[in-house]
Structure formats: structure tokens, C-alpha cells
Amino acid sequence: MRKQSDVRRFLVADDDVEDQEMITMAFKAAGVYEDLRFVNDGVELLDYLHHAGSFEGEVDAPRPDLILLDLNMPRLDGHGALRQIKSDESLSDIPVIVFTTSTSEKDVEETYRQGAQSYVIKPFSFTDLVTKVQNICTYWSEVSVLPEATS
């Protein structure tokens, strides 16, 4: 079991460069920015997690403590990536927070069935984004207990 203060490595799967910039600024503004990395779609996410493709080697792709996953991405969307992560014994213990603009009840239900730990709707204002980032980080660093990393 890890102490929650050990939650420092965030991997964000989001194809929108502006969203990536806003998320980076929100983490900094929230004062919780430690190691924030981005991939552009589900294919890159799985390559990162498996140290494949352009992410070969542990140094280039350290195991994340949390994954923030957008649903609407090219090549492999969030649903497909989530299914593969949660069906892979070596990855299934990594908490995945769906972080998307979708308010669809179908998306909410499906992602929880697929094993997501949380579903968070991206806010439209920067102030609200900072608040959501703070809430996510507070929950995962002070409230929730995570298992030891398996790899």
C-alpha cells in the first residue's frame, strides 16, 4: 500500500493541444504539478504504458500513478483504450479517471462498466478547471489508498 503523498505521476490522454495546455496551467495553478505527461490518443497511451513505439524504455515512459482519459480521440478512443487497460493484468490496477466533455449518461455508464475509477466532466472555465484538478488531486493524494505499483 502506498501513502497517498506518493501520487505524483499523471498521464493525460487528450488529443486537443489547447486542452493539454489548459490542463498543464491548471495543475500549476493548483500547486500540484509534479510529473504531468501527455499522449494524443489511445494508441499512444497503450504504447506509453507498454513501453512500445516511441516510448521504449522505462526512462521515457515511467508508470503513471493516475491516468486522465479523454473519450473523444482519433485512432483509438477512450472507451477502447480503457477496455484494453482494464483487461491487461499488468495495467489494470492503474486508476483511470475519465476526463471528458461528454455529458452522455451512456458514456458514464459504459466507462464505469469498463472499470474507470471516476468520471469527471471537463469544465469550460479555467477557474473551474483548477478546482476540479485540486479536487482530483486531493482525493487521490489524501483520501484514497492505492496498491503498490506492480511494475
Mean per-residue pLDDT for 137-149?
75
pLDDT recorded at residue 33: 62
Measured between alpha carbons, how far is residue 91 from residues 21, 42, 84, 95, 99 in Å? 27, 14, 9, 9, 19
CATH architecture of the domain covering 4-143 = 3-Layer(aba) Sandwich (3.40)
**Range from 46-55, 95-104, 140-149 carrying the lowest mean pLDDT:** 140-149
pLDDT recorded at residue 1: 46
**pLDDT over 50 at 2, yes or no:** no
pLDDT 10s digits, 35-53: 899 999 999 999 999 999 8
**Strand locations in 40-93 (E):** 66-69
**pLDDT over 90 at 144, yes or no:** no
Strand partners, 99: 120
pLDDT recorded at residue 40: 96
Q: What is the mean pLDDT of the chain?
A: 88
Q: State the Cα angle at 123 between 139 and 141, rounded to 5°.
A: 15
pLDDT recorded at residue 7: 54
Q: Where in the chain are the domains?
A: 4-143
**pLDDT over 50 at 9, yes or no:** yes
**Helix (H/G/I), strand (E/B), else coil: 63:** coil
pLDDT 10s digits, 22-38: 999 999 998 876 789 99
